[in-house]
Structure 1
């Protein structure tokens, strides 16, 4: 499965979760239900995956915990907040750099409309609200 197909399936699953439940629940609820939806679609994922950080000659075993890593290709960072802050995008970009992954999805289930709560970050370029088109520089 290609990375754009994986991200498309993740976004579709997020839309389905949000349309059935709406905003306002804990992030952990959305994480569990999104993982359930991904499993129904036959996608492999890891939840709360510890990712080490290397700094010079030191290795910190837990640099961060990825909410979800889908098909060992896409990092999914979930939020359930009223509005995403710029630091949320920078956080996911840092995760991508540290892990060596090429694509991340920041999904805010707190947004009234889920389409307004999805940010795709690839190779340091963010594209809000789109997972299928080319990215626009910030």
Structure 2
């Protein structure tokens, strides 16, 4: 399955979660529900996947944690914020670069219409 096919499933699942829960909950609630929906679709995922940072001779094992990594291909970063900032975008781009991934989704559940809370990043 390609990254694009996976992302379509992810977005559909995220819309389902948002449709049922609406905005206003903690990020962890959306994360659990999205993982549930993705597993129902038969996708393999890692929640809170550690992403080490390598600096010269040092490997920092707990450098970052990806909210959800789907099929070892697509990074999902979840937010419940008023608006995305440049820092949120930089966070996803950093995960893509450090992990060698091609596609990332930044999903903000704190919006009235979820399609307005999704940003797609391609490396």
- Give the TM-score range, shorter chain: over 0.9
For residue 98 of structure 1, give the secondary structure of its aligned residue in structure 2. Answer: helix
Does 1:64 find its partner at 2:69?
no
Residue by residue over 1:27-81, the C-alpha shift from the partner in whole angstroms, topping out at 9 and shown as x without a partner, is 0000000000000000000000111111111100011000000000001000011
Which TM-score applies when normalising by structure 2? 0.98
Shift of 1:84: 1.1
Q: Which residue of 1 aligns with 2:44?
A: 44
Distance across 2 between alignment mates of 1:15 and 1:28: 16
Distance in structure 2 (CA, Å) of the matches to 1:24 and 1:82:
10
- Report the counterpart of residue 113 of structure 1 in structure 2: 113
CA distance in 1, matches of 2:90, 2:111: 19
- Higher helix fraction: Structure 1 or Structure 2? 2
Shift of 1:85: 1.1
Unaligned runs of 5+ in 1: 124-138
How far apart, CA to CA, are the structure 2 residues paired with 1:35 and 1:117? 18
Count of residues in correspondence between the two structures: 123
Structure 2 CA distance, aligned partners of 1:112 and 1:12? 16
Residue 20 of structure 1: CA displacement? 1.1
Unaligned stretches of 5+ residues in structure 2 = none
> SS at the partner of 2:31?
helix
Q: SS where residue 13 of structure 1 aligns?
A: helix
Query: What is the RMSD computed on CA atoms of the aligned residues?
Result: 0.6
Moved over 2 A (4+): none
Instruction: Say whether 1:77 aligns with 2:92.
Output: no
Task: Specify the alignment match of 1:129 in structure 2.
Answer: none
Could you say which residue in structure 1 is the equivalent of 2:23? 23
